[in-house]
Each structure stands twice: as C-alpha cells, then as structure tokens.
Amino acid sequence: QAETEARERAKPAQTRDGHRIAIGANVNNPEQVPMALDQGAEGVGLMRTEFLFLERGDTPSEDDQYGTYSGMLTALAGRPLIVRTLDIGGDKQAAHLHLPKEENPFLGVRGARLLLRRPDLMEPQLRALYRAAKDHVPADAPRGKDAPLSIMMPMITSVPEVLRLREICEGIRDEIGAPEVPLGIMIEVPAAAIQADVLARHCDFFSIGTNDLTQYTLAIDRQNTDLAPEADSLHPAVLRLIRLTCEGAARHGRFVGVCGGIAGDPFGASLLAGLGVHELSMTPRDLPGVKARLRACDMAELKALAMDACAQEDAAAVRALDPAADSAAD
C-alpha cells in the first residue's frame, strides 16, 4: 500500500491529453528537501530566504548564505531551485535590521524596494548565490525552466526596478565569473500583472505570488482574520490578472509559475493550469493531491473552465464550478 502511494506521488502531473505541469515545493532549507522530494516535488519553486534572516535574529554572513544555498543545490542534485532574494517588510519584519517604522508596511519599503535601498543586504546575498552557482552549476546544465538555479526578485512594481536589479546581478556575476543564472520576478502587485507583457522583455520568467496579488487586488490585508473569507485567490479579478500575466509572458516565450497558496489547492491548481501557468510550487503536503487532480484532467477542458471562471461574478461562483465541490461539501 505504502509503495503504491509512493509510486503515485512520483508520477508527473501530466494531464490525460499529455500536457505536463512542472511541480515544485516551497522549501526554505536543505533539511526539508528529502521530505519534499518524497512527496513528489520535482524541484523547489520557492525558497523564501527571509527565513534565514528571521529565524536567527541577525543577518547571516555571505559565507553562511553560501553554505545554505550550496546545501540546497547539493540536496536537489540538479533539480531546479528558485531562490527568492530577501523579501522583508509587510508581514515579515526583522527587528535586528532596525528599519524605520512605517504607517502601512505592506505599501512601504518592502521586497525589491528594500533591496534597492540596502546594497549592504542585497550584495552579500547575490554574491553568495553566484558563488554557489559557480561551484555547483555545471557549464552544460539545462537553461530556462529546468535550470538548476534561478534567482527571483520579490514585490516588483516597475520596469526600472527590474533593469536596475538585473544590472546589479550582472555586475556581481561578472565579478565572480559565475555561469548565467535565469533571473525572474514575482508578479504579486496588480501593476506588474497589468504590465506583464512589458516586464517579460526584461526578465527570464515570472512567478505569481497569489497571496500578495490577492491582498493588493482586493485591498484586503492578508493578515486580517475578519476579512479572511473574502480574501479568496479565486476571485475573478485575481484570475483575470493571472490570465493577463500568462498572456504577457507568452508573447516573449517566458515561463510562468505560481508559488502562492492557491497553487496547493487541487481546484485552484487546475484553474491555474487552464490559465496557462507552466509550474506550480506549494507546501510539500499539498503535492500529492494537486498531482492526482491534474492527472485526472484534460487540458482542453481546463482551458475552457479557466475562461468560464474569469467570466464569473464572484469567487463563490468560481468555486461552484469545481466538479468536486458537491462531494467536498458533504
């Protein structure tokens, strides 16, 4: 029985009509990698590096970070790893950084905005990443979606931010003599989704952060428990922004992942696949359910379902389209 389940978890998320969705895990340290692989992950679609800073209560040195990123690459043995640079601010506050207090931290100096203002935080992190690439990524490693290491920037809202970040990355890569590392951006602000076709010119891939995209689209603080039932990532307004993101990426041949919570919901995952998302990354425990659901679907049907979902009036109407909704409610 256990063996049959393990075999099921290891199967790819390939729809009945042969479309394969890449499946990653959201994992923050090398110790969690074996468990994620056992649950059926094909790689790590989101490593949230702020946890390196938050868990220990001080700033990890470049060497400490190099050790952690090398550990991740070794544990993954060539499978894809997407490392997100520091996303401090909003719900992730680090007292030891002594950042100025803000009235609205979610609308303040967060993610990429902080990175650009604090080279003392960004540069050691990028050096650690490119050193890890130099030591662990072979010259003939695959590129694109299958690259063993990719770097991703959080909370992007504008083209100049991306251009500046790319320039800084390239400068450090040159200095270290590291191989090329794909550079992607998080799409988690409506401005980025709306301008996805423009942003796609300047980066290698997108990963949609549906937790923040939902918060910023619906104007609902993601931590407000009173409003939690309304903060549904399957709201048609959020789905339309995801569709726009996929269309913008497709124009430039970029791939799109989703690493927010809705990627781990079987119905959400099937809608995302129908909207044109290529990769889903989630908490390891959600992996088996999502893979099983996608394997039971036809991409042609998922595309129609996704278009139907975008045309609904509200999130409840979208959820009612779930063929499994009736049995789930029993």
Q: Which of 43, 209, 264, 284 binds Mg ion (CB under 5 A)?
A: 209
Rounded to an integer, what distance in angstroms lies between the CA atom of residue 327 and that of residue 324? Answer: 6
Could you say which residues in the range 39-78 bind ligand PEP, by CB under 6 A? 46, 48
Sign of CA dihedral 89, 94, 99, 105: positive
Q: Which of 30, 60, 179, 209 binds ligand PEP (CB under 6 A)?
A: 209
Cβ neighbours around 62 below 10 Å, total:
15
Could you say which residues in the range 236-265 bind ligand PEP, by CB under 6 A? 259-260
Minimum CB distance to Mg ion, residue 234 (Å): 17
Minimum CB distance to ligand PEP, residue 313 (Å): 24
Rounded to an integer, what distance in angstroms lies between the CA atom of residue 231 and that of residue 155? Answer: 19
Q: Is 212 in the site for ligand PEP (CB under 6 A)?
A: yes
CB under 5 to 8 A by kind: which of ligand PEP, Mg ion, none does 210 bind? ligand PEP
Q: Which is nearer to Mg ion, 48 or 240 (CB)?
A: 48
Binding map of ligand PEP across residues 181-200, x = CB under 6 A, - = no contact: -------x------------
* Cβ atoms of 285 and 39 closer than 8 Å: yes
Sign of CA dihedral 247, 252, 258, 260: negative
Q: Which is nearer to Mg ion, 22 or 213 (CB)?
A: 213
Residues within the interface to Mg ion (CB under 5 A): 188, 209, 212
Residues within the interface to ligand PEP (CB under 6 A): 46, 48, 87, 188, 209-212, 259-260
